[in-house]
Structure 1
Amino acid sequence: MQIRILNSLDVLEYRDIRLDALKKHPESFGSSYEEEKDLSINDFKDKLSSPISFTFVAFTHQNKLIGIVTLQREHRIKLRHRANIVGMYVSPSSRKMGIGRKLIAACIEKATSLEEIEQVYLSVVTTNMTAKNLYLSFGFKIFSLEKRALKLNYTYIDEEHMVLFLK
């Protein structure tokens, strides 16, 4: 397996796995399949070419994209000491193989290498114990519970907000 930063040659595969994630686990993302399914490849390229965003991808030895996660730096002056981990997803057939751990480790390593970044934030659905335990194992701490953070059809979904202090 290979973990690396996404490049423009991967955008078609990235789009496919992103849409798969949104379709299979709508409760885990702020975006929806309906909002992203009609975006063009150029829209995805634009999202991925931001100088404050680093999308990490996991590929099998057969070059199949099986996991994604994005580290986003804050750009406002007073928030530049912060980064956010968003869009974490590993294909169901590739779970329980340590891929999520490697993707989060890549984000933390990148955040640590960025001079200004002192803390990393993420949000996790309260019922996703696998993801929550992964983040806790890296030292993330829960600092708040957001009741009804998301609304999917007629169901509210709570999220916990977590932080990892690097410095």
Structure 2
Amino acid sequence: MDTRLLSKKHAAAYKSLRLKALQEHPEAFSSSYEEEVAYSIATVEERLNAENSFTFGAFVDEKLVAIATLLPETKNKLKHRANIFAVYVNTSYRKTGIGKKLVEAAINKSKSIEGIEQLYLTVSSSNIAAKNLYQSLSFKTYGTDKKALKVKETYYDEELMVLYL
């Protein structure tokens, strides 16, 4: 297994895995399958090549099995912060350490960007495995966003987490 920064050449594999994530766990992402299925490969390529966005992938035998995105803030007063989002590990590869390696890659990248002092993420309050992963990497919960997401008629709370670098 290796982790690497994704580029536009990974767009088709990324889109496929992202859509799988949105179908399997609609409560875990603010975007929906219905919104992203319509994205063209060109749109996905643009996202992966965006100047101030870093999407990491974990590969097993050259197959993309996990993804995570690091997005540093760009406004002057927020440049000391970055966000991790869109984390997903294919079900077949969970509990193998891949998720941890992927988030560590995002953390390490954030440490290489001048001025970043804090990393933020949100996680569904009911996603115990993901919360445990983030806590194992020293993220701390600083609040709860009640009814943060609404999927059909069900509300989901999100925990707001931070890691001070």
Residue-by-residue CA offset, 1:77-127 (whole Å, 9 max, x unaligned) = 111110000000000011111000000100110011111100000000000
- Looking at structure 1, the residues matched to 50 and 164 of structure 2 have their Cα atoms a distance apart, in angstroms, of 24
The alpha-carbon deviation at position 47 of structure 1 amounts to 1.4
- Counterpart in 2 of 1:16? 16
- Counterpart in 1 of 2:31? 31
Instruction: Report how many residues are paired.
Output: 165
- Looking at structure 1, the residues matched to 24 and 137 of structure 2 have their Cα atoms a distance apart, in angstroms, of 26
- Counterpart in 2 of 1:149? 148
Residue-by-residue CA offset, 1:111-155 (whole Å, 9 max, x unaligned) = 111111000000000000000011011111101101000000000
What TM-score results when the alignment is normalised by the length of structure 2?
0.98
- Counterpart in 1 of 2:55? 55
Contact 2:7 2:45 in 1 (8 A): no
- Residue 147 of structure 1 aligns to which amino acid in structure 2? K
Q: Does 1:92 align with 2:80?
A: no
- Counterpart in 1 of 2:72? 73
The alpha-carbon deviation at position 3 of structure 1 amounts to 0.3
Contact 2:72 2:83 in 1 (8 A): yes
Aligned pairs for 1:65-144 within 5 A: 65-144=64-143
Over aligned residue pairs, what C-alpha RMSD do you find? 0.6
- Residue 64 of structure 1 aligns to which amino acid in structure 2? K
Secondary structure in 2 aligned to 1:31?
A: coil
Contact 2:68 2:103 in 1 (8 A): yes
Secondary structure in 1 aligned to 2:116?
A: coil
What TM-score results when the alignment is normalised by the length of structure 1?
0.97
The alpha-carbon deviation at position 34 of structure 1 amounts to 0.3
- Looking at structure 2, the residues matched to 146 and 71 of structure 1 have their Cα atoms a distance apart, in angstroms, of 21
Percent identity reads 50
The alpha-carbon deviation at position 45 of structure 1 amounts to 1.0
- Looking at structure 1, the residues matched to 64 and 118 of structure 2 have their Cα atoms a distance apart, in angstroms, of 28
Structure 1 gaps of 5+ residues are: none
- Looking at structure 2, the residues matched to 135 and 28 of structure 1 have their Cα atoms a distance apart, in angstroms, of 14
- Residue 119 of structure 1 aligns to which amino acid in structure 2? Q
